[in-house]
Each structure stands twice: as structure tokens, then as C-alpha cells.
């Protein structure tokens, strides 16, 4: 699995830290990396709309000296017009790496089985590791030692939540997740990260009280209540998550220096108020910017052997 970037759970603490360090190097001196992927071609095959992930990997590939080609949801219709296995086998003959953005995580796993080139998970319904690598770098940049801060994720136990759990449990951080009772993160993921935490010394909690979770926090992170593909549950979810909005009431429990994170897009007035999103404590758009640098780090790590060594 290390020839791909599918889930942070396949990466050791050392490898995650190496990726964070590589991201920092790329951000500081982008000119030093502008030819490291010369003659490589990166494909972006997306079943879901995208702003940040598409821009980060497409522009990132170009800035590293590679070529990039984007396939929109309507073009390929993978799994409908053509079998996933056949698409994977075909693209492996043309490209050097594929970034996938899919509704079903199983689609990514099926693609990996058939592919002979590196595959990057640009988002699935289960995981969003490229987002979280950027988040870990952002926290490193702003708060320095990630292991010494309390990070609170308030909202849905979704793909971002799962990847945060994997990331923090492996590096040894302190992560508290607060969700409504029927929207907790996947039980198998929770058990798995608790096992990782025994090794790393991480502190992982899953609560159902956002006020309690936010107490003395250094970081409050949220995400949309209604993810792509969950639109039919919109009314039900908005009602269930009403008390989980990140607002002044919740932030009164956090440290005054607490920073606000959101992977975007944000539904202002739902999971977060505009006042909080636009506040001086918000690092949301720094997060968005850093997606570019972390995407470049992923591509370099997978495709240039010089940077894939421990």
C-alpha cells in the first residue's frame, strides 16, 4: 500500500512526519522542486465536483514539472459506462499516477487492485487523507508540536473525521471527536485508532457533547453536516446537528488562542457561523492554501525515489 496514498493508516509515524517535513520544504522553496517530476503525467479522475483538491493536484503537478490531465465526472462514467478495472488498466498504460475522487471508497480499492501505477485518494465517502495531511502540516506550521495541543473535531463522523482519527492516533496527538449519537465515526475505525494510540501514546476520545469537547481546546475543526451524496438526508441531519454548530457559545469553552479549522466548502450559518469563520482565529484559508503544498509533497513522495526514502 505504500506505493499508493489511500489511507494514512498505512503510514508510520515516521513517514507521516517525513511528508509534513517535505511539505514544509516545498512551501519554503518551491523553485527547488519545479523540475523533480519532469516527463511525468498525472491523471485526475473525479466522480465528484472539486475546487481545492482539483486545483491543488492539477496545479501542483504543473509546478513540479509534470503534465496533468483532468477527467470530469461526465467524461468517463467509471463503473457505469466502463468497468473500474478496465479504466484502471487503461490509464496505467498512459499515466504515471492517478488521483481519484469517488463516491464509494470501494471504487478506489477496486481501482488500486487493477492499477500498476500509484493511486492517490483525493476523497472517498470513507476517507480524505490528502485533506488531513494538509491539515497536519497547517497545525505544524501554526502550533509547532502537534502532540502538545488538544484538537477537537465537531460535526459528522465522516471521511475527514476518519482520516483525522488515523493521523492523530499514529503521530501521537490529542484528538476529541464530538458528534450526535447516531453520527459517530465508524466503529471499526475507532477500534483501530485506539490500537494505534496504545503504541503512539495518542489520546483519542469520541463524545456526544460539543460543549464538553471544546473545553480548553487549542483547535476546533468542523465540516459540513450534509456531505456530497447525503443530500436526501439534509433535513434530518440539520435537525440532528443543530447543537453542534461552531459558534461563540462553543468557543467560550476553548482557549483564547484557539484556532478554527474547516476543510471547506462551508455552509455558513449551519456547521459554522460567518463570524467564527471570518474571525482572526480562523486559519481556514491557510488550510486551503496548504492543500497545494501537501498535494505536491504526495506526488513527489510517490514518484521521485529521492524523496521516498525514510
> Which three cell numbers mark 288?
486551503
Cα–Cα distance measured from residue 269 to residue 246, given in angstroms and rounded to the nearest whole number:
9
For the stretch 270-295, pLDDT in tens is 999 999 999 999 999 999 999 999 99
Residues 272 and 300 reside in one and the same domain: no
Note the pLDDT of residue 295: 99
Question: Quick check: is 1 in a domain?
Answer: no
Q: Are 43 and 94 in contact (CB under 8 A)?
A: yes
Residues 57 and 103 reside in one and the same domain: yes
How many other CB atoms sit within 10 Å of the CB of residue 63?
Answer: 19
Question: Quick check: is 157 in a domain?
Answer: yes
Question: Quick check: is 235 in a domain?
Answer: yes
As a whole number, mean pLDDT of residues 238-263 equals 98
For the stretch 80-98, pLDDT in tens is 889 999 999 999 999 999 9
The percentage of the chain sitting over the pLDDT mark of 90, rounded to a whole number, equals: 91
Residues 39 and 140 reside in one and the same domain: no
Instruction: Please check the confidence at residue 2 and state whether its pLDDT lies above 70.
Output: no
> Which three cell numbers mark 83?
468497468
Instruction: Please check the confidence at residue 8 and state whether its pLDDT lies above 80.
Output: yes
Note the pLDDT of residue 77: 86
As a whole number, mean pLDDT of residues 48-59 equals 97
Residues 158 and 279 reside in one and the same domain: yes
Residues 156 and 95 reside in one and the same domain: no
> Which three cell numbers mark 73?
465526472
Task: Write the CATH number for 112.
Answer: 3.40.50.1370
> Which residue shows C-alpha cell 527547488?
32
Question: Quick check: is 65 in a domain?
Answer: yes
Residues 179 and 256 reside in one and the same domain: yes
Residues 133 and 221 reside in one and the same domain: yes
Residues 163 and 71 reside in one and the same domain: no
Residues 139 and 237 reside in one and the same domain: yes
Q: Is 67 left (phi over 0), alpha (psi -120 to 50) or beta?
A: beta
The closest of 199, 151, 148 to 177, measured between CA atoms, is 151
Note the pLDDT of residue 79: 81
Question: Quick check: is 2 in a domain?
Answer: no
Question: Quick check: is 271 in a domain?
Answer: yes
Q: For residue 248, give every residue at least 6 positions away whose Cβ sits within 8 Å of its Cβ, in sequence order, or none.
A: 273, 275, 276
Residue 18: which pLDDT band, with cuts at 50, 70 and 90? very high
For the stretch 206-221, pLDDT in tens is 999 999 999 999 999 9
> Which three cell numbers mark 171?
503521530
What's the mean per-residue pLDDT of the chain?
96
Question: Quick check: is 3 in a domain?
Answer: no
Question: Quick check: is 82 in a domain?
Answer: yes
Instruction: Please check the confidence at residue 190 and state whether its pLDDT lies above 70.
Output: yes
Note the pLDDT of residue 309: 58
Residues 94 and 152 reside in one and the same domain: no
Residues 264 and 226 reside in one and the same domain: yes
The boundaries of the domain holding residue 133 are 129-284
Note the pLDDT of residue 1: 42
Sheet of strand 119-121, all strands in order from the earlier edge strand to the far edge = 67-71, 41-46, 97-101, 119-121
The closest of 134, 132, 202, 144 to 173, measured between CA atoms, is 202
- How many distinct structural domains can be found in the chain? 2
The closest of 233, 283, 235 to 263, measured between CA atoms, is 283
Residues 194 and 265 reside in one and the same domain: yes
Residue 185 is classified by DSSP as: P
Amino acid at each position: 500500500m505504500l506505493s499508493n496514498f489511500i489511507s494514512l493508516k498505512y503510514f508510520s509515524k515516521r513517514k507521516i512526519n517525513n511528508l509534513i517535513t517535505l511539505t514544509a520544504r516545498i512551501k519554503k522553496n518551491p523553485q527547488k522542486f519545479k523540475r523533480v517530476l519532469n516527463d511525468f503525467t498525472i491523471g485526475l479522475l473525479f466522480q465528484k465536483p472539486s475546487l481545492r483538491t482539483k486545483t491543488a493536484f492539477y496545479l501542483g503537478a504543473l509546478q513540479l514539472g509534470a503534465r496533468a490531465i483532468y477527467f470530469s465526472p461526465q467524461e468517463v462514467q467509471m463503473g457505469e459506462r466502463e468497468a473500474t478495472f478496465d479504466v484502471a488498466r487503461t490509464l496505467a498504460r498512459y499515466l504515471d499516477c492517478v488521483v481519484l475522487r469517488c463516491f464509494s471508497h470501494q471504487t478506489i480499492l477496486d481501482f488500486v487492485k487493477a492499477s500498476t501505477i500509484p493511486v492517490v485518494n483525493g476523497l472517498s465517502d470513507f476517507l480524505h487523507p490528502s485533506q488531513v495531511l494538509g491539515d497536519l502540516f497547517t497545525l505544524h506550521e501554526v502550533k509547532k508540536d502537534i502532540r502538545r495541543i488538544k484538537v477537537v473535531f465537531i460535526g459528522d463522523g465522516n471521511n475527514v473525521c476518519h482520516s483525522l482519527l488515523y493521523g492523530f492516533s499514529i503521530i501521537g496527538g490529542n484528538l476529541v471527536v464530538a458528534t450526535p449519537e447516531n453520527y459517530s465515526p465508524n466503529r471499526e475505525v475507532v477500534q483501530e485508532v485506539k490500537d494505534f494510540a496504545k503504541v503512539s501514546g495518542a489520546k483519542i476520545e469520541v463524545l456526544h457533547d460539543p460543549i464538553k469537547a471544546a473545553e480548553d481546546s487549542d483547535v476546533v475543526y468542523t465540516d459540513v453536516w450534509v456531505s456530497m451524496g447525503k443530500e436526501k438526508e439534509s433535513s434530518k441531519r440539520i435537525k440532528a446537528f443543530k447543537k453542534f454548530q461552531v459558534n461563540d457559545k462553543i468557543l467560550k469553552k476553548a482557549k483564547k488562542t484557539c484556532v478554527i479549522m474547516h476543510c471547506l466548502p462551508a455552509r455558513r450559518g449551519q456547521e459554522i457561523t460567518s463570524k467564527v469563520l471570518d474571525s482572526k482565529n480562523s486559519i481556514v484559508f491557510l488550510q486551503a492554501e496548504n492543500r497545494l503544498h501537501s498535494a505536491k509533497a504526495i506526488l513527489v513522495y510517490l514518484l521521485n525515489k529521492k524523496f521516498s526514502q525514510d
